[in-house]
Structure 1
């Protein structure tokens, strides 16, 4: 199978920690941004899915998050179970954000991630805001890569494939209709292995 000419950019564990550390949860917008990035990294949400996510789409009892009419007008079910393989607790993170958002706004808005400024609190976030926020955090974190919201989704998919070694699982989690679209993550993992082997050879 031919390797794609250009593999997507991903970030490693140290870069993930540095990036998410830029969102200071002491501040309400930092708290919101940290949870947003966590969901992109831990369940692979697209940018549009993040900004369109509604509280009605999340069932905390069954630990399920529904993406309704995602890309290709397809629904998909994602899980936010506690203490999962990703080493993060999406369920608790969302519950804590829900409580703080409702407290700050005086009521629970329709959307999970909203504006929190004094003049426009509770409005749906703009795509461009999230893109600019991730670029800003990336620069502050000293990450010398071109980072976007989709970088976090690519990173999730690569980590999931490394964990499961099952490309069909990755395809389902991402909501890809065509398996060939998902195969790029096999190439990414293979590329990582090649680099690691090359480093071992260089050290000898």
Structure 2
């Protein structure tokens, strides 16, 4: 299995360097491929070249027996399809056995978002007299003000923030860059954090860098770190719902559309390649408008 490990490592490096995938995405790719390698051992297959269309059908059955959700099955098959496409490109295998594997259709789930009352509750719990509170407030304000992905937030550098015009340069998927404006609340929170909290944390740093968001040791804050911070803030705010960084992205898009922003502008701000991805939020908006109508129209 030594050759297989080398092939997997080369694929992960390809995703990291050429596709600019986030550590979170890389972790799932590697896990999904490792799961398939364990299945190959059960089938006594010793190389990826030995995997056939029949093997793929057997794997589908295996995943069904494990009672995985359709979304998980779709992710695993998609990961393996990409992996074997890479192996074909590198002339490691002759064909991609996953190329005709149909992905199970996901149940349509509307993006979950926060209402303004819930947001205000979340924004009110940070202790702005402490460095960590100043940083956490700045993270919250930036995620909601820009709708950026958590990986994009972690990659931000001081030089990416332009206070003069009120924009931040975001490096998205596939190394695509976009400028996103931010408002006065985010600006105020950023200034406070940069001038006080961040400066305090950097005193403990062993290496110089210009990453915007740092941990208590002055090192670059990771995606896991931001998720942990957010879960603690939600707990402190006594919110009964689970809030993820991506939920703030959903909230950003939904609130913009609710206030009349056009779909193309929201697509550009979110960094979506296809308009159909952004259109998901219009369903949320319609649902919201229907509730407003039923609750407030005198003859509803």
* TM-score, length-scaled by structure 2: 0.58
Classify the secondary structure of the residue corresponding to 2:264: helix
Q: CA deviation at 1:140?
A: 2.6
- Give the aligned partner of residue 160 of structure 2: 57
* 1:13 and 2:109 aligned: no
- Give the aligned partner of residue 169 of structure 2: 66
Cα deviation 1:76-135 (Å, max 9, x = unaligned): 0112354xxxxx3x223222221112255349841111012xxxx210012112112212
- Give the aligned partner of residue 102 of structure 1: 199
Q: 1:202 to 1:129 in 2, by over 3 A?
A: farther
| Poorly superposed stretches of 4+, deviation over 6 Å | 201-204
Task: Give the Cα–Cα distance (whole angstroms) in 1 for the partners of residues 112 and 299 of structure 2.
Answer: 26
Structure of greater relative contact order (alpha carbons < 8 Å, 6+ residues apart): 1
* 1:41 and 2:144 aligned: yes
Superposed counterparts of 1:1-204, under 5 Å = 5-68=108-171, 70-82=172-184, 88=185, 90-100=186-196, 101-106=198-203, 109-116=209-216, 121-200=217-296
Unaligned runs of 5+ in 2: 1-106
8 A contact 2:170–2:177 mirrored in 1: yes
Classify the secondary structure of the residue corresponding to 1:77: strand
Q: CA deviation at 1:188?
A: 0.7
Task: Give the Cα–Cα distance (whole angstroms) in 1 for the partners of residues 252 and 258 of structure 2.
Answer: 10
- Give the aligned partner of residue 85 of structure 1: none
Task: Give the Cα–Cα distance (whole angstroms) in 1 for the partners of residues 286 and 122 of structure 2.
Answer: 25
Q: CA deviation at 1:165?
A: 3.4
8 A contact 1:109–1:122 mirrored in 2: no
* TM-score, length-scaled by structure 1: 0.84
Classify the secondary structure of the residue corresponding to 2:168: strand
Task: Give the Cα–Cα distance (whole angstroms) in 1 for the partners of residues 292 and 167 of structure 2.
Answer: 36
Larger radius of gyration: 2
Task: Give the Cα–Cα distance (whole angstroms) in 1 for the partners of residues 265 and 180 of structure 2.
Answer: 12
Higher helix share: 2
Alpha carbon RMSD of aligned pairs, Å? 2.3
Cα deviation 1:148-187 (Å, max 9, x = unaligned): 0000111011111122330111001101010000011111
Unaligned runs of 5+ in 1: 83-87
